């Protein structure tokens, strides 16, 4: 069988991973289809708000991809990635709000008899933005809000740095498994609570609003912008998918899956498990930040509730329902569950009249979601993605009941030592 | 003899001139005599001269004196113009007067108004009378009346009370009242005495006293007024400009107020002046379009000022120069310097004590918060600590317990009874919920902690929404029984509400219950056996399934009871569980998993920390929680296994 | 014979229980050594100390020609220094193919960025194929390792150890649960390995130890009870009492 080993090692990456081609193709088809059917560029079958929903869904798919990488592949059940997503949104939202308010303030001051001084403009913007929290000066955190390149850098750097510092602390002290999950949840809670304060400098629970209006593009209708954002989101998702697939395809992917299954063993192979975890945690945090930066201009508003721990839990729910440990599973889960959520909670789903009681989906959807999540965990750990295995005949080894994950991996080793 | 004669005359007068008097008036009564002695002064009714009369009445020691003063004050005292005899009188029907004897208040009869004249004390006299009356109240034979009088003075003291109070101390027999009177006397001395030496002695006697009343009496004495002059006057305390005590803006505003300096040209004035002087696109020869910086505007303004078209420009540099040219200082306005300084010393002494006591109060607060966290976490210490099952729906079990309490109160209006009913019922409800969850979900996921975490999240989401559907989103009250209202007050600073004490006691009870169950019962033994080695336990006839189910139920049931307690302290909402779940896990993890004493220490640490941070930044509890969580994340760096860490093989099993 | 690893005066206790008590141990650069001892003698803890999993309370562990201390190093750093460890129960990455497992273990830069850029060259593939051949898993190269038999997993793990090209191999009960034929093969693998590197085998099975034909160290209650050839130590009365006599 030596011939197998001697097959040319450098087959093209996409040839080895046909699912990447299929995914990119489907994504392109989807984007073209929506464009053709949209109001902005096509025949107007799909409303602008639905185009926005689809664009947002693509961003959620991107953050789900990040979650799958960190959880499905590396075994770190992070309950903090929606916080990184929110931070990305805040970072871009600060510029959007600043730049747009600046235009408004300049316009209103242009009518004044004297040309405005820089101080007057700055005071005007600060008054407009922070009036709701009773402040009239820019907090230090807004120091670079005037600059798009710097805020774009913040989209990447802030989540990345937070993840780097937090991850370094957590991994260094070998916090793993559920402990790590709880710690990430605590981090998320701390961030959300911090942002809820009025003196956080980010408008407390008012959050940032009016993000759908791009500064300088006031004349472009939302119907056009929505499609452009859809393209941007699709592009980001496509590139993100390629990048993730590249990361997990090679030896690096092999190492992180090994870490997921038995991190102690990987350590004895000479790999610094902490460095790998930190790399993946930070990388996915950045990915989440980028997804958030694309999501919130489409949503129009961001507030601290978006960062609450429950959001990150839902992210885990999407990935679990879609099927973790495979990239397309995360995308399917995020798209399927979030669209279904929109449908149910948007009041479009028909109520079910049981005679004595009418089931209103707005109220009951969350219960259904919670219970189906339990059911998926219990009966279909591979999620929706598992259905593809029936077609592709992909099998995973019989573990005799043993589960993936560092917790159980370590358990095997311990049993060995007894 | 004279008395007798007058009596007879009066009798005859009455007989002839009035309608039938029921009882004859006792003209010889001591009170009447006393009144007659001062009759002229009383009838004269002058604020200036009335003093001796009131004093005599007050000092007479007569039982009737108090009544006389009261009625006099109420304008119910009349006198017969001819004889000068004093009576009490009230209007009767038909414009008649109903008369009463000043001695004993016995009704004399109804008569025409004409021969009688009413005493109409003016407000000055009424004030003197009430001051004299206070003395009666302070000397009232009924101690409760005396206490009431003291309370009244405490509430609304007046300079006139001082003398009365001083007079009422020696005769006081009840020690507590005497102490109270003495204290009040010193307080009044501080506030009203004219003698500075007395005031200082009184102030010094209060060194270290924590009473709010003391601080209320002292604070006005140290009131100061900010002033400014070329040189520092005597007895003035200099104040530095640009410090926290005196900002530049405030200092300069004072200068402007005193017309020692011209107001600084603020940007708005500057702009308005420039606008007012726009002339064909230029201001003072400068193009308007170029006025888009502060410097350009100032230059243009200066040009205007030079032309006399605007007030001179006062720049920041001018302000600095002006501020440096003057001395800012504070002078005492509330009292003479010596008294104020004594008060200041006393206050700073008191502040030290207050700070100490506040620390004690904070410690109590922290302790009660710790008990809440302990209550919230103890169920988790069983399910997570002992069994290793991570139950994210734990917070929702707390919520279920609280709602059980709420529902019980809907049916049982008696709060004491309803709480007593709610506790076992909450245990039963959450015990069943826990058992159901263990059977349906968790037992399939043993040794798969991450999956357990996820599945219980699902349950948590569903339960929360279910509660929302049933009870709505608004907070529901869970009312504590009346005997838990109020607080245990140790002094004016240190106090703790009974409900917090109850929660503390409950936390101790739970600790005892946990220790008892785990160490002294068959169940505890079997639980420990199953968690340490399920296969071995099974081979010894223990049914691990049953034990796991019961243990999980027990932990959940305790969460339910904790829910009732927490519901009493906070509001019952469908989201209350999420408020406690992270803290609860933190408590267990920080303390050290698998050790109840660790959980206790963890709760103490988390509670103390949160209160401590809140104390440093009292306006912002959200920030306190943020920093606490950050601290815990750091803490876990240094003690990853918690405060009480199990070592060796046991820790890894 | 130069000393590769020198453990001296090492003690460690867990909650008062002395798992290792003033243990001293040496091994040369190309030497086979069997470590035997009853349950609880501290064999696994001994390995934990060398590989950095457990930090001793006292004593020193010196490594290599330069006698660097291993005590301040992390597990991964120690592994990179050239100490490989095989656990008692086979721990291979069951979700990945045999080739992936071997590729993972292959001696290459372990830094995340290097690994991210790493693409196997044909020499790497050859090396993996050659290793697979040595451990008799050529036919199973692209099967998931979770599908292998127990013995095959043991070999795969030994293969992974060899792929690491360590200077010291620590092997915990390699023959457990193997058929006689499989044992034969395992013995061959170990003896072959010991020609170029140090191998420490912890084993219960006396027959297997005899086959290895090497110096034996007997551990008891955390310290060395006897050391020498198998015949020598089995003649030792103390050893008979604590271990063989049971």
pLDDT at A414 over 50: no
Range of the domain at B522: 356-652
Taking one residue from B and the other from C, the number of pairs with CB-CB distance under 8 angstroms is 8
Burial classification of residue B285, based on how many CB atoms lie within 10 Å of its CB (0-12 exposed, 13-18 middle, 19 or more buried): exposed
Q: Hey, are the CB atoms on B650 and C15 less than 8 Å from each other?
A: yes
Give the best residue of B380, B393, B461 to mutate against chain A (max A CB count within 10 A).
B461
Beta strands in chain C (DSSP E): 3-14, 17-28, 32-36, 58-63, 68-69, 83-86, 168-172, 198-202, 215-220, 223-228
Q: Is B649 on the interface with C (CB under 8 A)?
A: yes
Task: Return the pLDDT at B135.
Answer: 75
**For every residue of A98-133, which 3-state class applies, written as one string?**
HHHHHHHHHHHHHCCCCCCCHHHHHHHHHHHHHHHH
Cα angle A354, A360, A364 (rounded to 5 degrees) comes to: 105
Please give the DSSP secondary-structure letter assigned to residue A46: B
Taking one residue from A and the other from B, the number of pairs with CB-CB distance under 8 angstroms is 167
Last residue of a domain, one of B222, B243, B260: B222
Q: Is C16 on the interface with B (CB under 8 A)?
A: no
Q: Domain check: are B42 and B181 in the same one?
A: no
- Indicate the range of A183-197, A275-289, B45-59 predicted with least confidence: B45-59
Give the best residue of B266, B454, B466, B574 to mutate against chain A (max A CB count within 10 A).
B454
ipTM of the complex: 0.89
Task: Return the pLDDT at A161.
Answer: 96
Block residue for tokens 């505890």: B524
Which chain A residues touch C43 with a CB distance below 8 Å?
none
Give B290-312 pLDDT, tens digit per residue. Answer: 888 888 888 888 888 888 777 78
pLDDT at A293 over 90: yes
Q: Hey, are the CB atoms on A416 and C89 less than 8 Å from each other?
A: yes
Which chain C residues touch A276 with a CB distance below 8 Å?
112
Distances (CA, A) of B217 to B169, B353, B479: 20, 17, 38
Distances (CA, A) of C109 to A123, A251, C105, C112, C161: 55, 12, 11, 9, 16
Distance from CA of C164 to the nearest CA of A (A): 7
Q: Hey, are the CB atoms on A265 and C79 less than 8 Å from each other?
A: no
Confidence of residue C244 (pLDDT cuts 50, 70, 90): low
pLDDT at A3 over 60: no
Q: Hey, are the CB atoms on C125 and A257 less than 8 Å from each other?
A: no
Task: Return the pLDDT at B7.
Answer: 53
Q: Is B455 on the interface with A (CB under 8 A)?
A: yes
Task: Return the pLDDT at B72.
Answer: 81
Confidence of residue A12 (pLDDT cuts 50, 70, 90): low
Q: Is B652 on the interface with C (CB under 8 A)?
A: no
Q: Domain check: are B19 and B114 in the same one?
A: yes
pLDDT at A1 over 70: no
pLDDT at A153 over 60: yes
Block residue for tokens 């929109």: A342
Structure tokens at A369: 């979601």
Taking one residue from A and the other from C, the number of pairs with CB-CB distance under 8 angstroms is 129
Last residue of a domain, one of B222, B240, B270: B222
Q: How far apart are CA A91 and CA B377, in angstroms?
A: 37
Structure tokens at B547: 């034990």
Q: Is C39 on the interface with B (CB under 8 A)?
A: no
Which chain B residues touch C14 with a CB distance below 8 Å?
647-649
Task: Return the pLDDT at B645.
Answer: 63
Give A160-174 pLDDT, tens digit per residue. Answer: 999 999 999 889 888
Q: Domain check: are B420 and B313 in the same one?
A: no
Mean pLDDT (whole number) for A13-41? 86
User: Which helix (H) or strand (E) element contains residue C49?
Assistant: helix C43-51
Of B528, B497, B499, nearest to B515 (Cα)? Answer: B528
Give C49-83 pLDDT, tens digit per residue. Answer: 998 888 888 889 999 888 888 888 888 889 998 99
Task: Return the pLDDT at A60.
Answer: 96
Rg (CA), chain B: 40
Low-confidence ranges of chain B (pLDDT < 50): 1-2, 5, 8-22, 647-653
Q: How far apart are CA A226 and CA A231, in angstroms?
A: 9
Q: Write out residues 2-61 of A within 8 Å (CB-CB) of B.
A: none
* Domain ranges for chain A: 13-308
Q: Hey, are the CB atoms on B448 and A172 less than 8 Å from each other?
A: no
Q: Domain check: are B570 and B422 in the same one?
A: yes
Distance from CA of C2 to the nearest CA of B (A): 35
Of C222, C227, C200, C172, nearest to C56 (Cα)? Answer: C222
> Long-range contacts of range B586-589, CB-CB < 8 Å, 24 or more positions apart?
B586/A182, B586/A186, B586/B629, B586/B632, B587/B373, B587/B374, B587/B376, B587/B377, B587/B380, B588/B377, B588/B380, B588/B381, B588/B384, B588/B385, B589/A179, B589/A182, B589/B636, B589/B642
- CATH number for B485: 1.10.3470
Q: Domain check: are B545 and B576 in the same one?
A: yes
Q: Domain check: are B22 and B145 in the same one?
A: no
Average pLDDT, chain B: 81
Distance from CA of B648 to the nearest CA of C (A): 5
Task: Return the pLDDT at A330.
Answer: 92
Chains that touch B (3 or more CB pairs under 8 A): A, C
Say how many domains are in chain B.
4
Interior/surface letters B593-611, b for 16+ CB within 10 angstroms, e for the rest? bbbbebbbbbbbbbbbbbb
Confidence of residue A290 (pLDDT cuts 50, 70, 90): very high
Q: Is A394 on the interface with B (CB under 8 A)?
A: no
Which chain C residues touch A397 with a CB distance below 8 Å?
94-95, 144-147
Structure tokens at A386: 């598992």
Task: Return the pLDDT at B553.
Answer: 92
Task: Return the pLDDT at B19.
Answer: 44
Task: Return the pLDDT at C243.
Answer: 66
Q: Domain check: are B623 and B532 in the same one?
A: yes
Chains that touch A (3 or more CB pairs under 8 A): B, C
Q: How far apart are CA A17 and CA A1, in angstroms?
A: 23
Burial classification of residue B419, based on how many CB atoms lie within 10 Å of its CB (0-12 exposed, 13-18 middle, 19 or more buried): buried
Q: Domain check: are B539 and B437 in the same one?
A: yes
Nearest CB to C104: which of A10, A269, A412?
Answer: A269
Mean pLDDT (whole number) for A205-228? 88
Q: Write out residues 164-193 of A within 8 Å (CB-CB) of B.
A: 166, 169-170, 172-175, 177-179, 181-183, 185-187, 189-191, 193
- If you write DSSP's letter for every residue of A183-233 in order, what string do you get? HHHHHHHHHHHHHHSGGGSS-GGG-EE-TTS-TT-TTS-HHHHHHHHHHHH
Q: Domain check: are B643 and B541 in the same one?
A: yes
pLDDT at A68 over 90: yes
Q: pTM (2 decimals)?
A: 0.81
Give C96-107 pLDDT, tens digit per residue. Answer: 889 999 998 888
Q: Hey, are the CB atoms on B647 and C15 less than 8 Å from each other?
A: yes
Structure tokens at A208: 């940032």
Q: Domain check: are B110 and B185 in the same one?
A: no
Q: Is A269 on the interface with C (CB under 8 A)?
A: yes
Q: Hey, are the CB atoms on A185 and B582 less than 8 Å from each other?
A: yes
Cα angle A233, A239, A244 (rounded to 5 degrees) comes to: 120
Give B161-205 pLDDT, tens digit per residue. Answer: 787 788 778 878 888 888 888 888 888 888 888 888 888 888 888
> Long-range contacts of range B436-441, CB-CB < 8 Å, 24 or more positions apart?
B437/B391, B437/B393, B437/B552, B437/B556, B438/B548, B438/B549, B438/B552, B438/B553, B439/B549, B441/A374, B441/A378
Confidence of residue A33 (pLDDT cuts 50, 70, 90): very high
Q: Domain check: are B204 and B270 in the same one?
A: no
Q: How far apart are CA B300 and CA B271, in angstroms?
A: 10
Which chain A residues touch B469 with a CB distance below 8 Å?
363-364, 367
Give the best residue of A247, A269, A396 to mutate against chain C (max C CB count within 10 A).
A269
Last residue of a domain, one of B104, B126, B148: B126
- Closest residue in chain C to residue B652, using alpha carbons only: C14
Confidence of residue A405 (pLDDT cuts 50, 70, 90): very low
For chain C, give the number of residues: 246
Q: Is C17 on the interface with B (CB under 8 A)?
A: yes
Q: Hey, are the CB atoms on C104 and A251 less than 8 Å from each other?
A: yes
Q: How far apart are CA B153 and CA B164, in angstroms?
A: 11
Distance from CA of A202 to the nearest CA of B (A): 14
Please give the DSSP secondary-structure letter assigned to residue C177: T
Q: Domain check: are B199 and B228 in the same one?
A: no
Q: Is C14 on the interface with B (CB under 8 A)?
A: yes
Q: Is C136 on the interface with A (CB under 8 A)?
A: no
CB C172 within 8 A of CB A416: yes
**For every residue of B425-440, which 3-state class applies, written as one string?**
HHHHHHHHHHHHHHHH
Q: Is residue B157 part of a domain?
A: yes
**Cβ neighbours, 10 Å, residue A391:** 7
């Amino acid at each position: 069988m030596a011939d197998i080993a001697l097959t040319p090692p450098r087959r093209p990456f996409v040839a080895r991973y046909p699912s990447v081609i299929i995914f990119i193709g489907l994504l392109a088809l989807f984007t073209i289809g929506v464009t053709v059917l949209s109001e902005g560029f096509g025949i107007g079958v799909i409303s602008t708000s639905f185009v926005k929903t689809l664009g947002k869904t693509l961003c959620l798919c991107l953050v789900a991809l990040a979650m799958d990488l960190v959880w499905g592949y590396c075994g770190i059940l992070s309950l903090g990635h929606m916080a990184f997503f929110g931070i990305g949104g805040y970072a871009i939202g600060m510029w959007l709000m600043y730049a747009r308010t600046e235009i408004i303030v300049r316009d209103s001051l242009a009518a004044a008899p004297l040309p405005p001084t820089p101080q007057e403009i700055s005071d005007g913007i600060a008054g407009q933005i922070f009036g709701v929290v009773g402040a009239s000066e820019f907090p230090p955190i807004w120091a670079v809000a005037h600059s798009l390149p710097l805020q774009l850098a913040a989209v990447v750097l802030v989540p990345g740095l937070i993840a780097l510092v937090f991850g370094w602390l957590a991994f260094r002290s070998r916090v793993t498994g559920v402990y790590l999950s709880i710690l990430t949840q605590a981090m998320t809670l701390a961030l959300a609570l911090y942002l809820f304060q009025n003196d956080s400098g980010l408008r407390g629970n008012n959050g940032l609003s009016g993000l759908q209006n791009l500064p300088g593009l006031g004349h472009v209708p939302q119907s056009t912008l929505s499609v452009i954002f859809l393209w941007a989101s699709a592009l980001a998702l496509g590139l993100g998918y390629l990048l993730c697939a590249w990361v997990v395809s090679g030896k690096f992917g092999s190492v992180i899956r090994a870490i997921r299954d038995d991190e102690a063993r990987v350590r004895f192979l000479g790999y610094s498990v902490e460095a790998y975890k930190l790399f993946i945690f930070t990388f996915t945090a950045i990915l989440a930040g980028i997804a958030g930066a694309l999501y919130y201009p489409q949503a129009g508003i961001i507030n601290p509730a978006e960062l609450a721990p429950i959001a990150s839990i839902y992210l885990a729910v999407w990935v679990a329902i879609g099927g973790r440990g495979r990239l397309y599973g995360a995308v399917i889960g995020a798209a399927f569950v979030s669209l279904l959520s929109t449908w149910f909670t948007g009041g479009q789903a028909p109520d079910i009249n049981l005679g004595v009681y009418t089931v209103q989906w707005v109220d009951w959807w969350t219960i259904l979601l919670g219970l189906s999540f339990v059911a998926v965990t219990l009966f279909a750990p591979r999620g929706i993605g598992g259905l593809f295995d029936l077609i592709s005949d992909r099998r995973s080894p019989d573990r005799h009941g043993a589960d993936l994950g560092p917790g159980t991996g370590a358990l095997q080793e311990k049993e060995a030592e007894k | 003899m004279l008395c007798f004669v007058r009596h007879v005359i009066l009798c005859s007068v009455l007989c002839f001139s009035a309608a039938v008097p029921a009882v004859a008036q006792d003209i010889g009564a001591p009170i009447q005599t006393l009144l007659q002695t001062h009759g002229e002064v009383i009838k004269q009714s002058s604020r200036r001269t009335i003093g001796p009369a009131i004093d005599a009445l007050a000092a007479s020691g007569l039982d009737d004196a108090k009544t006389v003063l009261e009625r006099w004050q109420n304008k119910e005292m009349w006198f017969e113009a001819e004889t000068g005899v004093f009576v009490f009188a009230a209007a009767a029907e038909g414009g008649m007067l109903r008369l009463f004897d000043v001695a004993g208040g016995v009704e004399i009869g109804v008569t025409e108004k004409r021969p009688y004249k009413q005493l109409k004390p003016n407000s000055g006299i009424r004030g003197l009378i009430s001051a004299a009356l206070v003395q009666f109240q302070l000397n009232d034979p009924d101690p409760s009346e005396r206490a009431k009088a003291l309370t009244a003075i405490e509430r609304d003291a007046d300079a006139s009370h001082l003398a009365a109070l001083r007079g009422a101390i020696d005769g006081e027999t009840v020690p507590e009242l005497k102490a109270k009177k003495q204290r009040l006397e010193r307080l009044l001395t501080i506030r009203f005495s004219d003698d500075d030496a007395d005031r200082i002695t009184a102030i010094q006697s209060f060194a270290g006293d924590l009473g709010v009343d003391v601080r209320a009496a002292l604070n006005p004495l140290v009131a100061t007024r900010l002033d400014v002059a070329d040189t520092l006057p005597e007895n003035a305390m200099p104040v530095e400009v640009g410090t926290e005590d005196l900002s530049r803006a405030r200092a300069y505003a004072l200068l402007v107020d005193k017309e020692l300096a011209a107001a600084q040209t603020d940007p708005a004035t500057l702009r308005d002046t420039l606008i007012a002087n726009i002339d064909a696109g230029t201001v003072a020869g400068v193009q308007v379009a170029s006025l888009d910086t502060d410097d350009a505007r100032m230059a243009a303004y200066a040009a205007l000022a030079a032309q006399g078209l605007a007030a001179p420009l006062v720049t920041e540099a001018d302000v600095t120069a002006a501020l440096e040219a003057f001395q800012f200082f504070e002078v005492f306005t509330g009292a003479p310097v010596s008294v104020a300084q004594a008060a200041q010393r006393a206050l700073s002494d008191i502040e030290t004590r207050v700070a100490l006591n506040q620390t004690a109060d904070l410690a109590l607060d922290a302790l009660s918060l710790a008990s809440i966290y302990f209550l919230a976490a103890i169920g988790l210490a069983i399910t997570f600590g002992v069994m290793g099952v991570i139950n994210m729906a734990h917070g929702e079990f707390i919520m279920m317990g609280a709602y059980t309490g709420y529902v019980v109160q809907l049916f049982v209006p008696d709060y004491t009874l309803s709480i007593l009913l709610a506790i076992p019922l909450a245990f039963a409800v959450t015990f069943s919920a826990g058992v159901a969850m263990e059977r349906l979900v968790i037992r399939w996921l043993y040794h798969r902690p991450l999956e357990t975490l996820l599945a219980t999240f699902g349950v948590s989401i569903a339960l929360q929404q279910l509660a929302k559907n049933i009870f709505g989103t608004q907070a529901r009250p869970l009312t504590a029984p009346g005997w838990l209202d109020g607080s245990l007050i140790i002094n004016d600073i240190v106090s703790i509400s009974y409900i917090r004490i109850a929660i503390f006691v409950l936390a101790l009870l739970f600790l005892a219950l946990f220790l008892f169950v785990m160490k002294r019962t068959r169940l505890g033994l079997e639980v420990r056996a199953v968690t340490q080695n399920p296969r071995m336990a099974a081979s010894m006839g223990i049914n691990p399934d049953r034990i796991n189910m019961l243990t999980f139920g027990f932990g959940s049931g305790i969460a339910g009871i904790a829910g009732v307690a927490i519901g009493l302290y906070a509001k019952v909402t469908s989201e209350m569980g999420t408020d406690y779940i992270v803290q609860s896990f933190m408590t267990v993890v920080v303390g050290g998993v698998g050790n109840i004493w660790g959980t206790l220490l963890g709760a103490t640490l988390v509670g103390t920390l949160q209160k401590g941070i809140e104390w440093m930044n009292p306006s912002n509890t959200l920030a306190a929680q943020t920093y606490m969580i950050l601290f815990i994340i750091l803490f876990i760096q240094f003690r990853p296994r918690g405060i009480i860490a199990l070592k060796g093989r046991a820790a890894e099993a | 014979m130069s000393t590769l690893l020198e453990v001296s005066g090492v003690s460690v206790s867990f909650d008062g229980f002395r798992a290792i008590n003033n243990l001293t141990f040496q091994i040369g650069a190309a030497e086979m050594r069997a470590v035997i001892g009853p349950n609880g003698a501290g064999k696994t803890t001994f390995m934990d100390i060398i590989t950095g999993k457990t930090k001793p309370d006292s004593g020193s562990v010196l490594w290599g020609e330069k006698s660097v201390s291993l005590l301040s190093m992390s597990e991964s750093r120690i592994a990179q220094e050239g100490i490989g460890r095989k656990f008692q129960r086979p721990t291979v990455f069951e979700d990945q193919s045999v080739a992936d497992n071997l590729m993972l273990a292959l001696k290459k830069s372990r830094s995340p960025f290097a690994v991210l850029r790493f693409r196997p060259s044909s020499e790497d593939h050859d090396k993996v194929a050659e290793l697979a051949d040595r451990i008799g898993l050529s036919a199973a190269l692209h099967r998931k390792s979770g599908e292998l038999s127990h013995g095959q997993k043991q070999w795969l793990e030994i293969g992974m150890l060899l792929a690491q090209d360590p200077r010291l191999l620590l092997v915990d009960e390699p023959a457990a649960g193997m058929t006689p034929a499989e044992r034969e093969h395992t013995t061959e693998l170990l003896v072959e390995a010991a020609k170029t590197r140090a191998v420490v085998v912890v084993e219960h099975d006396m027959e297997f130890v005899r086959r290895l034909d090497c110096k034996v160290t007997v551990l008891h209650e955390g310290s060395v009870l006897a050391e020498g050839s198998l015949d020598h130590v089995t003649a030792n009365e103390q050893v008979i009492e604590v271990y063989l006599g049971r």
